[in-house]
Structure 1
Amino acid sequence: MQTSATELMLKGYGLTTAEFTYHMPDFAHVLNTFVWQDYDIAPDHPRLFKFIEFWQNEIEGPLHSVRFTHRKEISPGRWRNVVGEFTYH
């Protein structure tokens, strides 16, 4: 079962965006870019590094560089679940 984006954000995940610059397999002097996004945990970024490892093992275009940014949309301290209801006369 997939975890929703909101549940991930409440667990401390933030949106990580990475721009991969890589050499084209058939034209070694030509660079191309690929943008990747996923929810990940800073500062270790396990999902990003797993994707980089996948790229190095499975994709023919060798990496030139990777630029990334990480942004927490919400944090547990800024959100609270209120359960209950009261009436005002």
Structure 2
Amino acid sequence: MIDRDFTAQLEGYGLTTAEIHYYRPDAPSLLQLFVWQEYDLAPDFPVLFDFLDHWRREIEAALHSVRIAHERQIGPTEWRAVDGIFPLR
């Protein structure tokens, strides 16, 4: 069984980390921090933006800012398909 995260990396996804700064409704003068991490596609970040849309709809905390870091861990030069079977003797 192949790991879902490994398959996503082979499809071009990279590890994305977002620092989400927000204000809670019960403490509007305090800036809070939430760290989110998932595999996503740069530069469009569809997974992150789906999460942020969910945040805006379902969570009462107001967003202040989002800082994004992204790293592709497997690049095209690191992975190549090999056709054939090579017995070890």
Return the TM-score normalized by structure 2: 0.87
The Cα RMSD (Å) is: 1.6
TM alignment of 1:1-12, pairs within 5 A: 4-12=4-12
- CA deviation digits over 1:60-82, x for unaligned, max 9? 11001100111000023311243
How many residues in Structure 1 have an aligned counterpart in Structure 2?
Answer: 86
Query: For residues 40 and 76 of structure 1, what CA distance do their matches in structure 2 show?
Result: 17
Supply the AA of the counterpart residue of 2:39: Y
Whichever residue aligns with residue 79 of structure 1, its letter is W
Give the C-alpha shift of residue 86 in structure 1.
Answer: 4.1
Which stretches in structure 1 are left out of the alignment for 5+ residues? none
Question: Aligned residue for 1:60?
Answer: 60
Tell me what 1:31 maps to: 31
Structure 1 residues 87, 29: closer, same or farther in 2, change over 3 A?
closer
Residue type matched to 1:63 in 2?
L
The runs of at least 4 consecutive aligned structure 1 residues that moved more than 3 Å come to none
- What percent of counterpart residues are identical? 48
Q: Is the 8 A contact 1:11 1:76 kept in 2?
A: no
Equivalent position amino acid for 1:6 in 2:
F
Pick the structure with more strand per residue.
Answer: 2
